[in-house]
């Protein structure tokens, strides 16, 4: 299972013709591309259920897939469509307030990730507490997937220590994080290759021990 080359071609053309008239004229191509991505998500969910108990076959690809229509109300960029497909995979589809998988498909910008993006205050405090108490376990679960602390996303990282922690804390650089995510970039050739699904499943299996560490911090 893989992402069709035609899907990537559609997204490239959309990037060059991001307007309502072109999109309507090419609605059939969009429908085929979306169907391809949904089929891929469905296949990925089936694979995730084999090792992650937080994922089940009741999860529908349609609930995971984000809309292609952009919210332009408060944006300087008024182009109406996203030029990628994205999905958040969890028991609540794309709307989970907790750890999940994230798939992003776009020309020259493909990646798969897992973790917790911008947890709400109570969850953030719980994750930081778990790291503070069990930093050795965090290093261990990362190493199980051949990752290190340096592989964690630094998006939105605080410049100063969060409340309750000091700069001399040995774990302070991790405690400053506001999201706890590991991702792996993929080339267009990788996502359109016949083994694309198995390649991504292999990546998620490596990230899973880290995702489970977050679940445990939240007692989920």
Asked if pLDDT for residue 76 goes beyond 90, the answer is no
SS (HEC) of the chain: CCCCHHHHHHHHHHHHCCCHHHHHHCHHHHHHHHHHHHHHHHHHHHHHCCCCCCCCCCCCHHHHECCCECCCCCCCCCCCECCCEEEEECCCHHHCCCCEEEEEECCCCEEEEEEECCCCHHHHHHHHHHHHHCHHHHHHHHHHCCCCHHHCCCCCCCCCCCCCCCCCCCCHHHHCCCCEEEEEEECHHHHCCCCHHHHHHHHHHHHHHHHHHHHHHHCC
Q: pLDDT of 80-92, one tens digit each?
A: 999 999 999 998 8
pLDDT attached to residue 17: 97
Mean pLDDT on 102-126: 96
pLDDT in tens, 141-166: 999 999 999 999 998 899 999 999 99
**pLDDT over threshold 90, residue 94:** no
pLDDT band at 78 (very low <50, low <70, confident <90, very high): confident
How high is the pLDDT of residue 135? 93
**What does the pLDDT average to over 106-125?**
96
Looking at the predicted structure, is the pLDDT value of residue 96 above 90? no
The per-residue pLDDT of the chain, averaged, comes to 94
The confidence score (pLDDT) of residue 100 equals 95
Q: Give residue 220's pLDDT.
A: 57
């Amino acid at each position: 299972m893989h992402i069709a080359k035609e899907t990537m071609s559609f997204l490239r053309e959309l990037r060059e013709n991001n307007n309502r008239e072109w999109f309507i004229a090419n609605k059939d191509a969009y429908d085929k591309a979306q169907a391809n991505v949904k089929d891929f998500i469905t296949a990925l969910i089936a694979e995730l259920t084999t090792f992650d108990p937080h994922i089940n076959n009741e999860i529908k690809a349609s609930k995971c897939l984000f809309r292609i229509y952009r919210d332009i109300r408060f944006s300087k960029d008024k182009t109406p469509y996203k030029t990628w497909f994205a999905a958040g995979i969890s028991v609540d589809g794309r709307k989970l307030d907790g750890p999940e998988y994230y798939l992003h498909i776009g020309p020259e910008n493909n990646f798969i990730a897992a973790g917790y993006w911008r947890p709400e205050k109570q969850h953030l405090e719980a994750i930081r507490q778990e790291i503070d108490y069990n930093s050795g376990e965090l290093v261990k679960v990362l190493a199980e997937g051949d990752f290190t602390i340096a592989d964690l996303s630094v998006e939105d990282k605080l410049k100063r220590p969060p409340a309750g922690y000091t700069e001399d804390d040995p774990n302070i650089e991790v405690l400053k994080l506001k999201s706890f995510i590991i991702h792996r970039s993929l080339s267009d050739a990788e996502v359109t290759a016949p083994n694309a699904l198995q390649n991504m499943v292999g990546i998620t299996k490596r990230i899973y021990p880290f995702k489970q560490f977050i679940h445990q911090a939240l007692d989920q």
